[in-house]
Amino acid sequence: MTVMFNRVTIIGVGLIGGSIARAMKKHQLCNDIVGYARRENEVKKAVALGVIDRYESSVAEAVNGADLVIVAVPMGAFESMFRQMIGAISPDTVITDVGSAKSSVVNAAKNVFGVLPPGLVPAHPIAGTEKSGVEASFDSLFENRCTIVTPTAVSSESAISVVSNFWRAIGAEVVSMTPEHHDLVLAATSHLPHVLAFSLVDTLSHMQEHSEIFRFAAGGFRDFTRIASSDPTMWRDICLNNKDAILTSLKKYEDQLKKLEEAIANQDGVTIEKIFNNAKNARDTHVIGG
Ligand code: NAP
């Protein structure tokens, strides 16, 4: 792979930011990878692990002279990160991010910059684990995974190609959609399941017999609840930043659950089996690989 960038800045060198940096190094895409995080220890660790080349202790210094800036902090910190870039970022710099909700990134940029920069192309890699921090990062995280690129109405064609080609260069398949459409789709496929998993485990933990419940938890329980071990702060921020779409999905789910509840209460085996059959067929058809 040929070098695509002289300098790339990663704001937030955790699981996702760290994995991007490692993948860029693996594919030799960049001469100089600069990192920033709130805690100096975290970026020092990232340098010691060879994930980034160096770090700066302010966002402004970190983005200075960068060809590409990638924001990879929890969603609640986006607006503050954009604010700290004012005056330090060149109009030619391409800015992207990895946030799990997209309309709120566009709104944060509008609030801070007034008008959206043509160099801003939000994106969301559909890849991750329930672990956090730079130690959990690895260079193949995005290989054969999808990244959704969500250009704004004013993103420039050249910035869209830079961001799309960058993701392809680290192994991802790139799909494009509007930020609003992304938020609806992801609310249903990712945000709702996380809310349900957190809520189920929370409910069980309040039951009197909870130690017995967890002791006898079998494979199905593990499969269903693995994602409840994800980072609570990150998921709080996702709920706060994709409120409307998550509430829409949650309402649809509550209505369906109510139907199932009624069928169980009425000993209505036909309806129960119909719902389970539909779910099994949908999963067997659409979810490939277990
Ligand atoms: P992470 O491992 O916890 O890393 C977050 C990074 O941001 C750390 O370097 C952290 O270091 C820094 N940070 C945290 N709060 C900050 C603040 N207020 N100001 C500045 N820096 C801050 O998180 P992650 O899993 O990589 O997630 C990062 C982003 O990726 C999130 O927006 C998330 O929605 C998105 N995402 C995550 C996944 C996933 O599965 N994990 C998948 C796709 C997208 P300090 O604490 O020292 O500042």
- Centre of ligand 1 from the C-alpha of residue 115, in Å: 26
| C-alpha of residue 40 to centroid of ligand 1, in Å | 15
Say how many Å lie between the CA of residue 231 and the centre of ligand 1: 10
Query: Among residues 227, 235, 8, 20, which one has the least CA distance to residue 123?
Result: 20
Q: Which of helix, strand or coil describes residue 91?
A: coil
Digit-coded pLDDT (tens) for 10-53: 999 999 999 999 999 999 999 999 999 999 999 999 999 999 99
Closest protein CA for atom 14 of ligand 1: 73
User: 200 and 224 in contact (C-beta within 8 Å)?
Assistant: yes
Q: Whose CA is nearest to atom 40 of ligand 1?
A: 128
Residues 71-91: tens digit of each pLDDT: 999 999 999 999 999 999 999
Task: Write the residue with the smallest CA distance to atom 35 of ligand 1.
Answer: 99
Q: Does residue 33 come out as left (phi exceeding 0), alpha (psi in the -120 to 50 range) or beta?
A: beta
Looking at residue 184, its amino acid is L
Residue 183 has pLDDT above 90, yes or no: yes
Q: Helices in 9-77 by DSSP H: which ranges?
A: 15-26, 40-48, 59-63
- 266 C-alpha to ligand 1 centroid (Å): 47
Mean of pLDDT values over 178-205: 96
Residue nearest to atom 11 of ligand 1 (CA): 37
pLDDT of residue 218: 78
* Cα separation, 124 vs 112, whole angstroms: 21
Residue of minimum CA distance from atom 12 in ligand 1: 12
As for ligand 1, residues whose beta carbon falls within 6 Å of it are: 12-17, 37-39, 42, 72-75, 77, 98-100, 124-125, 128, 132-133, 231, 234, 238
Q: How far apart are CA 25 and CA 62, in angstroms?
A: 18
Ligand 1: nearest atom to the Cα of 126: 43
Mutate to test the pocket of ligand 1, among 73, 79, 134, 185 (most ligand atoms within 8 A of CB): 73
pLDDT of residue 41: 95
Q: Could you tell me the distance, in angstroms and rounded to a whole number, from the CA of residue 71 to the centre of ligand 1? A: 9
Query: What is the pLDDT at residue 1?
Result: 64
- 225-277: pLDDT as tens digits: 999 999 999 999 999 999 999 999 999 999 999 999 999 999 999 999 999 99
Q: What percent of the chain has pLDDT over 90?
A: 90
184 confidence band (pLDDT: 50, 70, 90): very high
d(CA 199, CA 212): 19
| Closest by CA position to 88, among listed 68, 112, 109, 62 | 62
In this structure, what DSSP letter does residue 37 have? Answer: -
Atom of ligand 1 nearest to the CA of 77: 18
